[in-house]
Structure 1
Amino acid sequence: MDDYRVVNRESWDERVAAHAASPDYKLAEFARDPEFISDVVRFDLPRLGDVSGLRGVHLQCHIGTDTISLARRGARMSGLDFSGPAVEQAQGFADQLGLEIDFHQADVYDAVEVLGAAAYDLVFTGIGAIGWLPSIDRWAATVSGLLKPGGRLFIREGHPMLWTLDDATDKLEVGFPYFETREPQVWDEGGTYVETDVEFQHTVTHEWNHGLGEIITALIKHGLQLTAFEEHDSAPWIALPGKMTKDPGFAEWRLTDRPERLPCTYTLQAVKL
């Protein structure tokens, strides 16, 4: 089996330029309006609350639009990602916007060594991040290591039930693991989740699902206390093509037919004891 980090990094490195140019990441809006923030962060503003003055780090930050959004809400942000081109893009764009954000290239499991132990009031991670990691226990240990006592984890993620569904069928059919597995699910897909005409060469990825119980148990094991948990029937991308609709005035996608059947994403918060 190839090293998952090498395989996945090649895929993400290649997609950086296409994502930065895509209208879905809205870099033009960020540049035009100093108050503009990402749809992902805006969705969770009622749950985030006031982050002014907090020392925060965004793990697996990609090109940094959520990191920038948190900085615009007053947090003193760092970002970390394993992709060199992503970090270069994020740092350059933050500098262009006049924001003091430091971005670092490193594997997420090395974050404490790179960024410092017990250094942060807030660890943030967004949608489509933890599925690239083989061990949710190691991730939880990393989060715990980064947080000061009383510091908060804030994660919005794709729901593990959503990740089990086979979108190649007409029905909602469970086709993939719900729980973490030793071996990854290996995919070979040429596209990406944003609007682009780019044809990619690196199309193989290695991914893992992590059940809600596994995530919560790992956080508790590593000294965090769950403080909030909410499931959502929507996602900020078309997770199931042909089966989802975006309602007028709402930034996210739900099942067109009886959306109450499926949790698409969740928001979880926990505090370091």
Structure 2
Amino acid sequence: MTDDSYLKINRANWDARADVHVGPDGYRLDAFDDPEWISDVVAFDRPRLGDLTGLDAVHLQCHIGTDTVSLARLGARMAGLDLSPRALAHARTFAARAGVDVEFVESDVYGAVEALGPARFDLVYTGIGAICWLPDIDRWARTVAALLRPGGRLFIRDGHPVLNSLAAVVVGNEYAERDQQPDMTAPGGMSPALEFPYYTQPEYRVWCEETSYAGSTPVASPVSVEWNHSIGEILTAVLSAGLTIDTFVEHDSVPWDALPGMMTLGDDGEYRLSDRPERLPASFTLIATRPASDI
């Protein structure tokens, strides 16, 4: 995929999703009326984020800004970047309501350095469910490195590429005779199966989802396109961009119902496989540093 047609498709999709996500059954925006409240996503990340007080930070693919505002409440001076003008309009309204000062900038990720300036940030944060919308993981990593000051950190938690390779399939009755069986939600039961590419492919994968992961209102522009990137491709891209990997952790949970009918919501706001969750790496956290000696 060499052209930018994917941007137009995904921009329309995320414009439409943003309107759904600020609806009454979308994101829990009212919770932020409590000045101490932070999003479940950032609460999950908090033990690994460290002290953010006084850091200049940017949230790439910030959407409507719930995680961006949460990071600001932890002490960072925040900028948020997103390709969707509708999402950013909602983000500015939301941040003002929350009483948090955030610089929101419209740009796709690959234009971030031009939009924000090079070597400007102590922290580049990328939240859950983001890099699948990007065709070139190497270019993403180079962009991150260019945004960071020497000594600055990348923090990303995202859906695991194994999870992104899965689809729910109906299995035969013989499966139910085994000692360990899946959550039975259809005749014969359902089970996750590797159905989609694990490695980055030249062409995008097309989805048409009439509803979003938050909110029940139909999405006006339901088509989106994405790519999967393997763990090896992600790690190699980060290293090739000149960053040093400090932490890499895989988690058995993800903050959305990625496999409907086969996952259970926990008290921490995370979904895990109902049957033997230890089978699935559902998300990962990667922390990397631009060396202080890098000029």
Matches within 5 A, 1:35-184: 35-169=36-170, 170-184=190-204
Percent identity of the aligned residues? 54
Letter of the 1:88 counterpart: A
Letter of the 2:93 counterpart: G
Q: Counterparts of 1:72 and 1:226 in 2: how far apart (Å)?
A: 26
Other-structure match for 2:274:
256
Q: How many residues align?
A: 270
Report the CA distance between 1:5 and its aligned residue: 0.5
Report the CA distance between 1:200 and its aligned residue: 2.3
Show CA shifts across 1:123-145 (max 9, x none). Answer: 00011110000000110010000
Secondary structure of the equivalent of 2:81?
Answer: strand
Q: Which runs of 5+ in 1 are unaligned?
A: none
TM-score (norm 1): 0.96
Query: Which consecutive segments of 4 or more residues in structure 1 shift more than 4 A?
Result: none
Other-structure match for 1:29:
31
Q: Counterparts of 2:17 and 2:192 in 1: how far apart (Å)?
A: 29
Q: Counterparts of 2:26 and 2:285 in 1: how far apart (Å)?
A: 22
Letter of the 2:14 counterpart: W
Secondary structure of the equivalent of 2:264?
Answer: strand
Report the CA distance between 1:167 and its aligned residue: 2.5
The reply on whether 1:267 has 2:285 as its aligned counterpart is: yes
Secondary structure of the equivalent of 1:12?
Answer: helix
Question: Is the CA contact 1:81–1:104 (under 8 Å) kept in the aligned structure 2?
Answer: yes
Secondary structure of the equivalent of 2:219?
Answer: coil
Secondary structure of the equivalent of 1:131?
Answer: helix
Question: Is the CA contact 2:40–2:268 (under 8 Å) kept in the aligned structure 1?
Answer: no
Question: Is the CA contact 1:158–1:235 (under 8 Å) kept in the aligned structure 2?
Answer: yes
Q: Counterparts of 1:59 and 1:252 in 2: how far apart (Å)?
A: 22
Secondary structure of the equivalent of 1:171?
Answer: strand
Q: Counterparts of 2:268 and 2:35 in 1: how far apart (Å)?
A: 22
Letter of the 1:12 counterpart: W
The alpha-carbon distance between structure 1 residues 93 and 179, as it changes in their structure 2 partners (threshold 3 A), is same
Other-structure match for 1:215:
234
The alpha-carbon distance between structure 1 residues 181 and 22, as it changes in their structure 2 partners (threshold 3 A), is farther
Deviates more, 1:181-190 or 1:57-66: 181-190
Question: Is the CA contact 2:169–2:192 (under 8 Å) kept in the aligned structure 1?
Answer: no
Question: Is the CA contact 2:191–2:262 (under 8 Å) kept in the aligned structure 1?
Answer: no
Report the CA distance between 1:168 and its aligned residue: 4.7
Question: Is the CA contact 2:154–2:287 (under 8 Å) kept in the aligned structure 1?
Answer: yes
Show CA shifts across 1:197-227 (max 9, x none). Answer: x122311111000001101101111110000
Q: Which runs of 5+ in 2 are unaligned?
A: 171-189
Other-structure match for 1:193:
213
The reply on whether 1:236 has 2:255 as its aligned counterpart is: yes
Q: Counterparts of 1:49 and 1:183 in 2: how far apart (Å)?
A: 38
